[in-house]
Amino acid sequence: MESPTLPGREALTSRVVPSMVLSDGSASSMTPMPAFDIESDAAVGAQKRFHVQGNAVVAGGAGTLGLHSCDALLEHGLQGLMIFDINPDNCQKDIARMKTKFPDAKIHVQKVDVTDEETVKEAMEKTVRVLGSIDTLVCFVGVVGCVETLDMPVSQWRKVLDINTTGSFICAQAAAREMVKKGNGGSITFVASISAHRVNYPQPQVAYNVSKSALLMLKSCLAAEWARYGIRTNSVSPGYMDTVLNEGDGIALHRKIWAERNPSGRMGSPSELTGAIVLLASTAGTYMNGSDIVIDGGAIVF
């Protein structure tokens, strides 16, 4: 029986397949070569090199890694910040602190379920109304579940991919549509993982690993398709970070193994991720598109 939504075999021979349109890099395109002059003032040159312009949406931004990155983006010039999170109440104290530290910035939070397409669309539209534009999207959304694959319910597999992969896609698509409307381009950064590059040890977490490896291909596809709109799409792949998610006596042995298998002998600090986040969103990253930056202390070399 033929699918009601997919063409039958006889229709395939007459189908029209869309073709990507790449930028030509000309001065009139959305990917022109930036003007470059060596600044006479060293401080000005350093400031301009990593300047972050406009407004950002940070999805899944109420966690430790997200909040550290929000703070760093604001330090480098971000004018408006909108945090999307399923549990925004968890970061109210941090938001109050940021508002005191950055009194000239517009800082807001919305409760958003990234798996709900309509909710994300409305949240992006509200962001434009409140901030004026979306120039940067950073996607931290993600859940993990460690379970033997033979015992894993299919419902858990679906949930992990729905949040980590599909949720990131929904956010990227909705943000890109707003960027295209404004016509100013923008930057999208997915937070993948070293789990996207190799199998973790010793914990089994197949759904998480697959969901994060899918983000790398999603990043590459969007980088190819959306460059003509001036939208750069990249990713970062953190290693094990020393956050509340990796605390507790129950994973003490795992932490020991992670450290022993890392050339640096330790986990990462949330502050060690922020440089790459700022780089990809800043003027220093204008020729970075389709890149993935691994930040793991060297664990990936083994």
Catalytic residues: 208
The amino acid that residue 30 corresponds to is M
Q: Which residue has the tokens 């929904």?
A: 170
- Other C-beta atoms closer than 10 Å to the C-beta of 279 total 21
End-to-end CA distance of the chain: 49
List, in order, residues 6 or more apart from 171 with CB less than 8 Å away.
57, 59, 84, 114, 120, 137, 139, 141
Query: What backbone phi and psi angles, to 5 degrees, belong to 80?
Result: -140, 140
Give CA–CA dist 300/208, Å, rounded: 17
Residues present in the chain in total: 302
The amino acid that residue 22 corresponds to is L
List, in order, residues 6 or more apart from 21 with CB less than 8 Å away.
228
In 3D, which of 20, 60, 17 has the Cα closest to residue 223?
20
Q: Which residue has the tokens 């962001």?
A: 127
- Other C-beta atoms closer than 10 Å to the C-beta of 24 total 10
Please report, for residues 10, 198, 230, the alpha-carbon distance to residue 189 in angstroms, rounded to integers and kept in the order given: 41, 20, 14
Q: Are 265 and 259 in contact (CB under 8 A)?
A: yes
- The secondary structure of 225-247 as a DSSP string is HHGGGTEEEEEEEE--B-SGGG-
